[in-house]
Amino acid sequence: MDLYINIILLALMAITALAILRMTNIFAIVMLFGIFSFLSAVLFVVMDAVDVAFTEAAVGAGISTVLMIATMALIKNQEEKRPLGHRPWLPLLVVFITGAALVYGTLDIPAFGDPNAPAQKHVAPYYLEKSISDTGVPNVVTSVLASYRGFDTLGEVVVVFTAGIAVLILIGGRLTRPTKRRDK
């Protein structure tokens, strides 16, 4: 049953991505991207990654969409322009070659859900066995994120902080200026 849900959700995501590619109205594209993120969040629940799912739903689908709509409100640009003499062949060729190379790379990869895949055998069993005795946290994702790999999370906070400061430097005092000019 999980497998069928998985297949249908992935097909829906592919269709949504193609719709984003075809659309020219920016607002519709942003809304479709929100749908795309929510579909991926549901898929993460199906694949037993519950922590990732609610982060994706809250941060990926929620905050990203809000940021994009806020940007749209500021730039007042609703339609994407397509130049008439635009030739898609070179980008298509690049994309097909890259995709073919990547598919070639997946041919001998372990099948989906294989419990004996190398990725399942190395570090993960340690965390699953020792999480309770080392940290006392039953949720292994939390214990790895906040305890075993706490410094990585600190680094993540530094990245978010830097990005926040950069956004403030770029558009901090400027948002009100264009309307003031119009008043004069």
Partner 1 sequence: MMDYIIGHYNYWIAIFLMMVGFYIVISRGNLVKKIIGLNIFQVSVFLLYITMSTVKDGAAPIITEGVKLYSNPLPHVLILTAIVVGVATTALALALVIRIKEAYGTIEEDEIHEQDHSL
Q: Which of residues 105-164 bind partner 1 (CB under 8 A)?
A: 106-107, 109, 111-115, 117, 119-120, 123-124, 127-128, 131-132, 138-141, 144-145, 149, 152-153, 156, 159-160, 162-164
Q: Could you give the string, one character per residue 45-74, with x where binding to partner 1 holds by CB under 8 A and - elsewhere?
A: --xxxxxx--xx--xx--xx--xx-xxx-x
Tokens of 18: 């193609």
Q: CA–CA separation, 39 vs 82, rounded Å?
A: 28
Q: Pick from 18, 28, 134, 150 the residue near partner 1 by CB under 8 A.
A: 18
Tokens of 96: 């097909």
Q: Which of residues 103 and 180 has its CB atom nearest to partner 1 in the complex?
A: 103
Q: Which of residues 159 and 180 has its CB atom nearest to partner 1 in the complex?
A: 159
User: What is the amino acid identity at position 174?
Assistant: R
Q: What is the DSSP letter of 84?
A: T
Q: Does 44 bind partner 1 (CB under 8 A)?
A: yes
Q: CA–CA separation, 25 vs 23, rounded Å?
A: 6
Provide the minimum distance between the beta carbon of 122 and partner 1 in the complex, in angstroms, as a whole number: 9
Interactions with partner 1, residue window 71-110 (CB under 8 A): 71-72, 74-75, 77, 80-81, 83, 86, 88, 91-92, 94-96, 98-99, 102-103, 106-107, 109
Element housing 4 (H / E): helix 2-22
φ, ψ of residue 79 to 5 degrees: the values are: -120, 140
Provide the minimum distance between the beta carbon of 131 and partner 1 in the complex, in angstroms, as a whole number: 6
Q: Which residues contact 57 (CB under 8 A, 6 or more apart)?
A: 37, 38, 41
